[in-house]
Amino acid sequence: MNAPTTHSTEASDKALSRTIGLHGRVAVFSAMAGGVASGGVLVAALTLTGRLSGHALFLSATALFVVGALLGLIHGAVLGYFGRPVETAPSTALRQLILAGLYAVPGLAVAWLVSIWVAMTLIAYYTGKIGALVGVGLGWVAAAAILATAAIQILRAFRNALARWPERRAGTLLVGATFAALLVTFLADRPELWGLRLRVTETGAVLLAIFLTLWVAGPIITMALRLARQLPTAWRSSGSSAGTWTLTDLVIGLVIGAVVGLLAVPFTAPVAPSVTSAFAGSVIVGVGQALVNEVLLRLFMISALAWLLLRWHRVHPDEAAVGSVAAVTLLQVGLYLPGALAVGFPSWTGTVAFLAIAVALPAAAFGVLFWKRGFATALVADVTALVAIALLVP
């Protein structure tokens, strides 16, 4: 009596294994779109604006295509897995994503040809040959089709992922605010590329902010909120929504932030005119820096360390809180230590005083606020401290 059911199940599994589903399509088209955008559209834009030489164009386009396709494949696979349809089991999604890797091979071959034709836009324009112009035109049409298809698939998966994300409201708000903070910070003081001593342009600053938001801030915030939700209810950080925040939390954040800022003023150098000389600009940049610090150091690091201590060592929640706050405080001191040494204080006591009062004390205070009063209170305190410094430092 059970034979028909068994055969039916096996047939269904075989049929299912031949498909890759929405999650597989997201991975494949994300890889194709990443390759086309990096090796085709970006190269064409750089050559047309004179920022990339036409020499070795084939190698440059191919190298950028590989990088973009790899990043697109990884990002698409992760988004596809979390954005899979509700009826798709995790094990089934993983098998179909592996199958999607095979489908990606011919897809990437097509995308590479498209990207090469798009990258040759400047050459086709200068030569003026009909065949080259037609090939480039068809390449742009194909590139637009690949990018549009990828966008549609990504949007569908993103909606599914958002629907099954319990902290979607707080997470979406934090991810958006982090992107805005990174964008403002990078535009105010454009960073240098590590190891290359090249300062990014305004366009590069926007792209860097997008990249860090998608690949660093988004996953960190998602993981941090999930870990915070699993912490004991005594932790106010587990309730990240604004509904749990009170006027008392706001006042506490403002008072402690003002005190911390006043103590740090003697150790703060004047703001460089190249960064921003206006008070409003200083405040905007300060708010962005405070948000990034609180997301990375408090929301993520403290929650992750406390979760590890509670799960692996079975310590008391208060012990986990004290240990995680102390560890993150030491981490922040270590991050500021090279800068303190580079300042060149007259004696070692000045360096120690700076690290103790301007770094360790604020880090510990914001950590305790995060533990006792929640993320929003710690953020208010950090922002208030930076605003106080901006007001008092000439």
Tens digits of pLDDT across the chain (394 residues): 444 444 443 443 344 345 888 989 999 999 999 999 999 998 998 888 877 776 778 898 999 999 999 999 998 999 999 899 888 888 888 988 999 999 999 999 999 999 999 999 988 888 888 888 999 999 999 999 999 999 999 999 999 988 888 888 888 889 999 999 888 888 887 777 665 566 777 877 888 888 888 878 888 888 888 888 888 765 665 444 444 678 888 999 999 999 999 998 887 755 444 444 456 666 777 788 889 899 999 999 999 999 999 888 778 888 899 999 999 999 999 998 888 888 777 788 888 989 999 999 999 999 999 998 888 899 999 999 988 888 877 6
Q: How many residues does the chain have?
A: 394
| pLDDT for residue 236 | 60
Phi and psi at residue 197, to the nearest 5°: 55, 35
| pLDDT for residue 338 | 87
Q: Write the pLDDT tens digit of every residue in 214-226.
A: 878 888 888 888 8
- HSE-CB of 22 using CA atoms within 13 angstroms: 22
Nearest to 60 by CA among 35, 44, 37, 43: 43
pTM of the full predicted structure?
A: 0.72
Angle at 325 between CA 226 and CA 340, to 5 degrees: 120
CA gap 186, 188 in Å, rounded: 5
